[in-house]
Amino acid sequence: MSKNRPLSPHLSIHKKNFTAVFSIFHRFTGIGLSFGSILIVVWIGLLSLGPMYFSFYEKFISNLLFKIILFFWTLGMFYHLFNGIRYLYWSFGLGMSLKHVHLSGYIVIFLSIIFTFSIWYF
């Protein structure tokens, strides 16, 4: 056996498909929302323990890094929501043409950004 055999190109030769990228981000946002939900449970738990415990969490909330993480969690939440609705339409066979797939993808991005900024603005 020769050790100089070429390696398989695997994923490096494939063009990134529009729907594949949206599907990958849908999965990433689902994982991120799961971790964010753990933080929400901790927050509710600290609320129930009393003001002494909550003051520790309150210092953590005022941190700029936490607000940035929360902003992207909100963006991920809306992206996951709107992309999930898009997948539901696909389950019924609606919007499956290439034109509608691209249009609905841009609508998902647009709505996710608009809803995130509207939540953070108000």
Q: Is the confidence at residue 112, as pLDDT, over 90?
A: yes
Instruction: At 71, list the tokens.
Output: 């902003």
Q: Which of 5-9, 29-33, 66-70, 103-107 shows the lowest mean pLDDT across its residues? A: 5-9
Looking at residue 84, its pLDDT comes to 96
Specify the DSSP element, H or E, that contains 2: none
CB 93 within 8 A of CB 55: no
Task: Give me the CATH number covering residue 64.
Answer: 1.20.1300.10
Rounded-to-integer distance, Cα 100 and Cα 103, Å: 5
Q: Is the confidence at residue 103, as pLDDT, over 70?
A: yes
Report pTM: 0.81
Residue 93 belongs to what domain range? 36-121
21 in any annotated domain: no
102 in any annotated domain: yes
Confidence of residue 73 (pLDDT cuts 50, 70, 90): very high
